[in-house]
Amino acid sequence: MTPPESKTIEEIADEDYEHGWSMDIPATEAPKGLNEEIVEYISEENDEPEWLKEWRLKAYNHWTEMEEPDWPNVEYPPIDFQDMKYYSAPEAGEEEDAPESLDEVDDEILEMYERLGIPLGEQKRLQGVAVDAVVDSVSVATTFKEELEDMGVIFCPISEAVQDYPDIVKKHLGSVVPITDNFYATLNSAVFSDGSFCYVPEGVECPLELSTYFRMNAEGTGQFERTLIVAEPDSYVSYLEGCTAPARRDHQLHAAVVELIAKDNAEIKYSTVQNWYPGDEEGEGGVYNFVTKRGKAAGRNSKISWAQVETGSAITWKYPSCILAGDGSVGEFYSVAITSRHQQADTGTKMIHLGDDTSSTIISKSISADQGQNTYRGQVKINEGAENARNRSECDSMLIGDECGAHTFPYIDVENPTAQMEHEATTTKIGEDQMFYLEQRGLDEEDAVRMIVNGFAEEVLDELPMEFAVEARNLLGIKLEGSVG
Amino acid sequence: MSKINTDTNEESTMLEIDNLHVSADDTGILRGIDLDVDGGELHAIMGPNGSGKSTLAKALAGHEAYEIDEGDVTYKGKDLLELEADDRAHEGVFLAFQYPVEIPGVTQMTFLRTALNSIREANGKDPMSAGEFLELAREKLDELDLPEDMLKRSLNEGFSGGEKKRNEIFQMAVLQPELCLLDETDSGLDIDALQIVADGINRMREDEDRSMVLITHYERILEYVEPDHVHVMLGGQIAKSGGPELAEKLEEKGYDWIEEETGIQRSPQQAEGALTS
């Protein structure tokens, strides 16, 4: 006599990762394993100058001395770094030069992106968004290239930038995340294959959103992309990245490095919607997303703003950070992280205040459902010489069900007495009563969850560019279908 | 005062509750409720705390925490208990909550328009545009003396107790349900707010097919909203039914005389609840 049961979590879990397909695209691959020869192979495949090869080898040799970090609040079996491939290039994208125009892009690649909802073709491409499409290890297409060149904005695969703009790359690569920085960043420095490069010249406010869409396709391959964005004085750029991967039984490693440099009065806004394959309901498979992202607000009154929606991956380990070196510089971190099923996330930020009158804002929203474990880990450091620094941190956690967990580890280190610090943290549960209220008014279970979660994450979603905000809102709802009720 | 006898015309019966037994957390709360509500009628249900009034409202609206142990509920000729909460809402059942929940970050505008359009869609109507919705909402806000910024605020967040109750009536006015279950909507209102809420209810009653079940502790609201029938709940049963004069008698003499007259007892826990009411 009770109302009919709604769908079980298991029923929905099987259908909810819509990007779990893969395509059989011929690829040039490196053999499994990692050694100096593989590093040299990658460098040679990319036709790199000697300095970069040396740089990679230095990173590789340093990496062999390093230990994998064990401090994150996540659990996984040891990774066998000799049992994966470090390079896979779809053959269509592996020609001598990257495709000059979209006509040269392989039909299968265009079809892949079409299926992902990212049309690259001239007729259908997204309004106001220039897209760099990266499959496995290489960039396969970039839209709106000429329009950007007219403004002096360089937006291209980093492999191409190494050839065409070696001085800019050499000057900035590794300047924010040094090759010795941490285990995964150092690994990336040794084996990174492609990624996006963006250079905005002085005084230019880039009117297009620049976007990279990362897709893992090949099996048993790690993805190690490297992104470098340089904003010269008085410039502005907004950059977006999106990520998906096929459903595979094995775990796939994604260890990216992103470096941002903002000079005087420059602003970089960096948004991520991360939807790597999270694994199945038993916790089998899924992407290990071990990423180092850091921005240097180098110039006076410069600004670095991170906005991230983390919905995918079996394990997420990332702390997009800001080094506030310039006087009056501003750092922002807006984050929504969802963990459902067996997903684990240990994510947060570091705000390092070096300059005077620097300010930072941290808004972190974590949502845990099923057996998901969500950890916020954030550091705010005010250096001795940083006068009148300000920070506001807000960390809110939402729990859905009784088997998930939320954890908060704030580290606050203040060495200057003029600093002003605010920290707030809350934990809430989606209640049966909230669900009943919305359902009583006519919303079905999915709409009700979507509405509550979107409301919780509103402050962060507001920070995303419009095109991404819509996608992110839908994604939040889809990820939690069946987790409530 | 003229409609004391229950109308036996089958066709006009909107809600028919037959021997309803309901429990929560394995504790029996409702123990055989029988109640017929005809189209256009307003039934007031009174009773001490813990007598099962709110349980009845939530069970009718489809709250999953309330287990139906026995009995039937027929609504507009359909088996109401077979329907999920949202489907009941689509069929025109509305519950004005005793304690409306807060939903941070969700504006009332988004919420209520989504709700209205869900109901419209389920009934084969086109969704209402933002402009049309705003016009409708402004009219209803005005009637309830609520400020327009109510639409921009997060749902019930930071609302005063009185605002929350008026907001429930506002939502009811926008959604135009057929069966309104009002759970202690009058509690905690000052006399001005009570008048506004009562006017809102009376405007809804102008539609002669709409039925209402008004749950209350106090006779006070019945001075503004005239019931067709008054029922007294004790120990999970309807112990006594009558017309408006029954409410007056309760105000004067309390509930003890009904216990004596009918032999239906409040449980110790319920008696304790009554002390705090």
Give A48-58 pLDDT, tens digit per residue: 999 999 999 99
Q: Min CA distance, A476 vs chain B (Å)?
A: 15
**Token pair recorded at residue A273:** 């919607």
Q: How far apart are CA B92 and CA B70, in angstroms?
A: 24
Instruction: Give domain status of residue A287, yes or no.
Output: no
**Is B171 within a domain?**
no
Both A265 and A327 in one domain: the answer is no
Per-residue model confidence (pLDDT) at position A247? 63
A contact test, residue of B101, B155, B172 with most A CBs within 10 A: B101
Name residues 192-221 of chain B within 8 A of A (Cβ): none
Q: Is residue B194 in a domain? A: no
Would the pLDDT of A138 be above 80? no
Q: Is there a single domain that holds both residue A244 and residue A359?
A: no
Q: For residue A7, give the DSSP letter.
A: P
Residue A299 and residue A328 in contact, taking contact as beta carbons nearer than 8 Å = no
pLDDT (0 to 100) of residue B7: 47
Residues of A in contact with B68 (CB under 8 A): 1-2
Answer yes or no: do A82 and A157 share one domain: yes
Q: Is residue A48 part of a domain?
A: yes
Measured between CB atoms, which of B58, B64, B115 is closest to A3?
B64
Q: Is position A431 within any domain?
A: yes
Are the beta carbons of B106 and A454 separated by less than 8 Å?
yes
Which has more pLDDT, A135 or B163?
A: B163
What is residue B275's predicted lDDT score, i.e. its pLDDT?
A: 40
**A97 and A150 inside one domain:** yes
The answer to whether residue B31 is domain-embedded is yes
Considering only CB atoms, which chain B residues are within 8 Å of A452? 103, 106
Evaluate whether B261 touches B246 at the Cβ level (below 8 Å).
Answer: no
Q: What integer is the mean pLDDT of A347-362?
A: 97
Report which of residues A108 and A485 the model is more confident about.
A108
Across the interface, of B61, B81, B86, the residue whose CB is closest to A1 is B81
**In contact, A408 and A379? CB cutoff 8 Å:** no
Place of tokens 């080094």: A323
Judged by CB atoms closer than 8 Å, whether chains meet at B68 and A1 is answered as yes
pLDDT score recorded for residue A18: 66
DSSP state of B188: T
Instruction: Tell me how far apart the alpha carbons of residues A65 and A182 are, in angstroms, rounded to a whole number.
Output: 11
Note the pLDDT of residue A36. 93
In angstroms, what separates the C-alpha of B69 from chain A's closest C-alpha? Answer: 7
Q: How far does the CA of residue A448 sit from the closest CA of chain B (Å)? A: 9
- In this prediction, residue A361 carries a pLDDT of 97
Number of separate domains in chain B: 1
Using CA atoms, how far apart are residues A278 and A14, in angstroms rounded to an integer? Answer: 12
- β-pairing, A209-215 with A129-135? parallel
**Chain B contact for A127, CB < 8 A?**
no
Closest residue on chain B to A460 (Cα): B105
Q: What is the pTM of this model?
A: 0.80
DSSP state of A458: H
**pLDDT for B27-37, tens place per residue?**
999 999 999 99
Which of these, B180, B197, B179, B200, lies nearest to B188 by C-alpha position?
Answer: B197
Q: Classify residue A124: in a domain, yes or no.
A: yes
> Which residue from B199, B177, A228 is spatially nearest to B185, judged by alpha carbons?
B199
Predicted local distance difference test score (pLDDT) of residue A227: 94
Residues in chain A within 8 Å Cβ distance of B114: 443, 447, 451
Across A72-81, A254-263, B157-166, B265-274, the highest mean pLDDT is recorded for A254-263
3-state secondary structure of A450: helix
CA A283 to chain B, closest CA, distance in angstroms equals: 30
Edge-to-edge, what's the strand order for the sheet holding B211-215? Answer: B93-96, B179-183, B211-215, B42-46, B229-234, B237-242
* Percentage of the residues of chain B whose pLDDT score is greater than 90: 73
CA atoms of A232 and A262, how far apart (whole Å) = 7
* Gap from B68 CA to chain A (nearest CA, Å): 6
Please indicate, yes or no, if residue B152 is contained in any of the structural domains: no
Q: Decide if A95 is inside a domain.
A: yes
Cα within 13 Å of Cα(A98), Cβ side: 27
Of A439, A455, A459, the CB nearest to B85: A439
Q: Is residue A193 part of a domain?
A: yes
User: According to the per-residue pLDDT averaged within each range, which of A122-136, A176-190, A219-233, A365-379 is highest?
Assistant: A176-190
Interface-testing mutation among A1, A427, A429, A447, with chain B (most B C-beta atoms within 10 A): A1
pLDDT at B272 over 80: no
Task: Clarify whether residues A277 and A359 are in a common domain.
Answer: no
pLDDT 10s digits, A31-89 = 888 999 999 999 998 899 999 999 999 999 999 999 988 888 888 888 888 888 888 87
In the prediction, which pLDDT does B156 show?
A: 93
Mutate which of B103, B164, B172, B175 to test chain A, going by most A C-beta atoms within 10 A?
Answer: B103
Report yes or no: B100 at the A interface, CB cutoff 8 Å. yes
Mean pLDDT over each residue of chain A, to the nearest integer = 84
Long-range contacts of range B268-275, CB-CB < 8 Å, 24 or more positions apart?
Answer: B269/B50, B270/B48, B270/B49, B270/B50, B270/B51, B270/B234, B270/B235, B271/B48, B272/B50, B273/B48, B273/B49, B273/B50, B274/B48, B274/B49, B274/B50
- A441 interfaces chain B, CB cutoff of 8 Å: yes
Q: Does a structural domain hold residue B137?
A: no
Report the number of distinct structural domains present in chain A: 2
In a domain, A309, yes or no: no
Are A3 and B104 inside 8 Å of each other by CB? no
Query: For residue B53, which of B243, B213, B247 has the smallest C-alpha distance?
Result: B213
The label of the residue with tokens 């991956």 reads: A313
Cα A482 from Cα A472, distance rounded (Å) = 18
All residues of chain A having their beta carbon less than 8 Å from the beta carbon of residue B84 are 3-4, 6, 439
Pairing of strands A315-318, A267-274: unpaired
CA of A322 to nearest chain B CA: how many angstroms apart?
A: 27
Q: Chain B residues with CB inside 8 Å of A459's CB?
A: 105
Residue B15 maps to which CATH number? 3.40.50.300
Assigned domain for A352 exists: yes
pLDDT band at residue A13 under the 50/70/90 scheme = very low
What are the pLDDT digits (tens) for B213-260?
A: 999 988 889 999 999 999 999 999 999 999 999 999 988 898 889 988
Task: Let me know if residue B28 belongs to a domain.
Answer: yes
In this predicted structure, what is the pLDDT of residue A114? 67
| Mean of per-residue pLDDT scores for chain B | 90
Closest partner residue to B105 (CB to CB) among A1, A6, A458 is: A458
Determine the number of helices (DSSP H) and then strands (DSSP E) in chain A. Answer: 11, 23
Please, which residues 49-68 of chain B have a Cβ atom closer than 8 Å to chain A?
58, 61-65, 67-68
Residue B149 within a domain: no
The yes/no answer to whether this complex scores an ipTM above 0.85 is yes
Domain containing A241 equals 29-249+261-282
A-chain CB neighbours of B118 within 8 Å are: 441-444, 447
Task: Give per-residue pLDDT as tens, A188-247.
Answer: 999 998 888 999 999 999 988 888 877 766 666 778 889 999 999 999 999 988 766 666
Q: Do A455 and B103 touch (CB under 8 A)?
A: yes
**Kind plus residue range of the DSSP H or E element containing B172:** helix B161-175
Of A333, A272, A216, A268, nearest to A468 (Cα)? A272
Find the Cα–Cα–Cα–Cα dihedral B190, B194, B197, B199, rounded to 10°.
-140
Q: How far is CA A195 from the centre of its chain?
A: 12
Q: What is the mean pLDDT of residues B68-82?
A: 96
Residues of the domain holding B41? 10-97+220-272
Does residue A26 surpass a pLDDT of 90? no
SS3 state of residue A56: helix
